[in-house]
Amino acid sequence: MKKTNQRTQDSCSLVYRCRLPLSTRTVNHLADLLRRHLNEIRSRWRILPPGKIAVIVLAVLRHDQRLADMAGGNNVSESTVRRWRDELIGLLAVQAPRLDRALKKIARQGGEVVLIDGTLIPTQRRTGKADRRNYSGKHRTHGLHFLALTDERGRLVWISAARPGRTHDNTAARHDHLLAHLRAAGLGALADLGFRGLDNDVRDPVIVTGFHASRTHKLTAGQRNANRVLAIGRAPVEHGFAHLKNWRILAKLRTDPARATRLLRALLVLTNLEVNR
């Protein structure tokens, strides 16, 4: 017992420095956003300056640092870091573009098609029946499903709301009225076979998904070549997802699923700041 007590008394908080691989443009944008918000709500004091708060929140988002660890290294409470994180996520999420405006912007810039795909964000498994809908049979794990649109270069332009992991791509697209928005903007879309059946217009299709092979129906050489060309055209959408998932907080969400939509849209804004610099 004496040895254990002695070790406890001799222990102290150790702090180490870690590189944050982000541009100063991103940090300044977040700090300026916080300064304007503080002026609007007439808050004259924070325990740390806006620039330092921005770095702390970006470290939480980029490296998935635990709130308690960040709080201990900056001599603040864990609840304070959590409040800063939620506050800045809310401010960033408001800047995320709406679907109709994002598509119209691409059309004004001379774009003709967008790339669409869906993906799953792993989450912690929760107890109770309410979490069963978050289980994805395709990925065999619990998570949240969302859609994303990119331009032809793979730059993210829009992210849908986060939905239960069992949600199908077509179900999410119909819920967001994606087909109607594409027609209104005069744009087409390239998608994978998961979106088959979303656009049933044979004469003037808006969403191109390629050809599907089955046991009784083999693809011809021309159909295989068409699928290969479509896969090459869709490749940049994977680059967009890769940039988004560089934010390691998405490796396995531990936050409330109800807040996941705001988090995704905030990360969309930050990703575009980093990629388009």
Provide the 8-state DSSP code for 253: B
Question: Angle at the Cα of 142 (from 136 to 145), degrees rounded to 5?
Answer: 60
Q: What pLDDT, on the 0 to 100 scale, is given for residue 277?
A: 62
Least confident of 82-91, 154-163, 219-228: 219-228
Q: Which of 132-136, 164-168, 180-184 has the lowest mean pLDDT?
A: 132-136
How does pLDDT run across 21-31, given as a tens digit for each residue?
Answer: 999 999 999 99
To the question of pTM greater than 0.95 for the whole model, the response is: no
Pinpoint the alpha helices (H) of 74-150: 78-93, 99-108
Nearest to 180 by CA among 206, 150, 216: 206
Q: What's the rounded Cα separation, in Å, for the pair 15 and 18?
A: 10
pLDDT band at residue 156 using 50, 70 and 90 as cut-offs: very high
pLDDT tens digit string along 201-231? Answer: 777 788 888 888 888 888 888 888 988 998 8
Which is nearest to 159 in space by CA: 241, 242, 91?
241
d(CA 188, CA 182) in angstroms, rounded, equals 7
